[in-house]
Structure 1
Amino acid sequence: MSQVKTLMIIAISLIMLGCATNQAKVSFDRNADIDTMNYKTFAWLTEAKIMAPPADFNPVMKVRVDEAIEQAFIAKGYQLVTDPEEADFTISYTVGSRDKIKVNSYPATYNTGFGWGRGYYGGRGYYGSVHMGTETSVRQYTEGKLAIDIYDVKSRQPAWHGWATKRLSSNDTEQPGTAIKEVVGQVVAQFY
């Protein structure tokens, strides 16, 4: 096999892998005035745990999110305490989802081999009148969002805000526990 063919196979494989993965977009913001390096204990900010639950939030899903967040902080070495006044920091979270639409529009000959050939020039030659149609694809999907907030108990100030957005796949809805643990872990990993 020639080097060109090998490179083409590798390039196509990487493109397909990139399209197949559905990674969460994760980021955070921190309050530079608060030192979080000596934190050892945490508690929930409120008994409800979630800051403002959506009206249609599944109570079973809430339990999964609560547990995933607790376990992620415990895995980082923090100890969960019941009294928020005794903790170094408190946590809360919000969740939500939004239905989105993605519209792509391409020249009609886009899918026929890089746009070259009879269809590209309208069958009239290079200098002839060119009339190109377009093909449009519309995809509907749901994007989920999770945000975790950390508050410094001594100063009563927000210390950190981490969030993730993710296009929800059929696997995410069929096995929500796995998706929740993965996304929560990615968000909490940003906290230091």
Structure 2
Amino acid sequence: MKYVKLLPLLVLFITSCSSVRVATDYDTKADFNNYKTFAFYKPGIDKAPISDLDKKRIMRAIEANLLAKGMQKSSNPDVLVSLFTKSRERININDNNAAFGWGWGYGWGWNPWMWGGAGRLNVNQYTEGTLFIDIIDANKKELVWQGIGSGALSMRSTKKREERIKKFVTDILSKYPPGAQRK
């Protein structure tokens, strides 16, 4: 019966760690139907405070997503794509006993397990990353769309890191162009 009570918390924990929270903003006057070609904006990308390897991973994922949307890479593009990243350490503290209404424990004595001591709090430290993807009108040199994705980063292995980067980019670009997700 204890395991049945733990299942909702486990599902919540797994989905909260694996999800990417996405927000977007865009210029309502921009005609996104006119944007058929893209190129990367190197001066902006060079300023991103991440390794060159991660920049390559992000750029490959962006390119794959935009090509899948029917755009083409060009030396004379309609839009320029830039990116920026931020990260910060986060700590989650969960009171496992309070979440299930177990209260103070059972019986008398000094034993900390009996009084909700040891094992009561679950502390989880992780790095939260934020990826900004900017779409800039190449002719006007104006930002026309920005997607922001935030979530836990995976640092365990190169493969996991690459999968996580692809998820970030795919989730963010699922909102580009504006209105595309409603079709």
Whether 2:8 is the aligned partner of 1:18: answer no
The residue type paired with residue 103 of structure 1 is I
- Note the residue ranges of structure 2 that are not aligned, 5 or more in a row: 110-115, 178-183
Quote the offset at 1:117 in angstroms. 6.9
Query: Kindly tell me: are residues 45 and 116 of structure 1, through their superposed partners in 2, closer, same or farther at Cα, counting changes over 3 Å?
Result: closer
Pick aligned residue for 2:90 from 87, 95, 100 = 100
Among all aligned residue pairs of Structure 1 and Structure 2, give the percentage whose two residues are the same amino acid: 32
Query: Kindly tell me: are residues 51 and 189 of structure 1, through their superposed partners in 2, closer, same or farther at Cα, counting changes over 3 Å?
Result: farther
Pick aligned residue for 2:27 from 27, 31, 45 = 31
> In structure 2, the residue corresponding to 1:186 is in which secondary structure?
helix
CA RMSD of aligned residues (A): 3.3
Q: Which residue of 2 aligns with 1:149?
A: 134
Q: Which has the larger radius of gyration?
A: 1
- 1:108-144 alpha-carbon deviations (Å, 9 max, x no partner): x63785327756xx99xxxxxxxx9895543321001
Task: Normalising by structure 1, report the TM-score.
Answer: 0.71
Query: Kindly tell me: are residues 190 and 118 of structure 1, through their superposed partners in 2, closer, same or farther at Cα, counting changes over 3 Å?
Result: same
Would you tell me which structure has more helix in proportion to its own residues? Answer: 2
Pick aligned residue for 1:114 from 74, 98, 102 = 102
Show the 5 A alignment for 1:28-177: 28-46=24-42, 48=43, 50=45, 52-54=47-49, 57-82=50-75, 86-104=76-94, 106=95, 110=98, 114-115=102-103, 136-169=121-154, 175-177=160-162
User: Contact 1:150–1:161 at 8 Å: present in 2 too?
Assistant: yes
The residue type paired with residue 98 of structure 1 is R
Query: Kindly tell me: are residues 156 and 138 of structure 1, through their superposed partners in 2, closer, same or farther at Cα, counting changes over 3 Å?
Result: same
- Measure, in 1, the Cα distance between the counterparts of 2:24 and 2:87: 19
Task: Normalising by structure 2, report the TM-score.
Answer: 0.74
User: Contact 1:41–1:88 at 8 Å: present in 2 too?
Assistant: yes
The residue type paired with residue 40 of structure 1 is K
- Note the residue ranges of structure 1 that are not aligned, 5 or more in a row: 124-131
Quote the offset at 1:76 in angstroms. 1.0
- Measure, in 1, the Cα distance between the counterparts of 2:144 and 2:37: 14
> How many corresponding residue pairs?
168
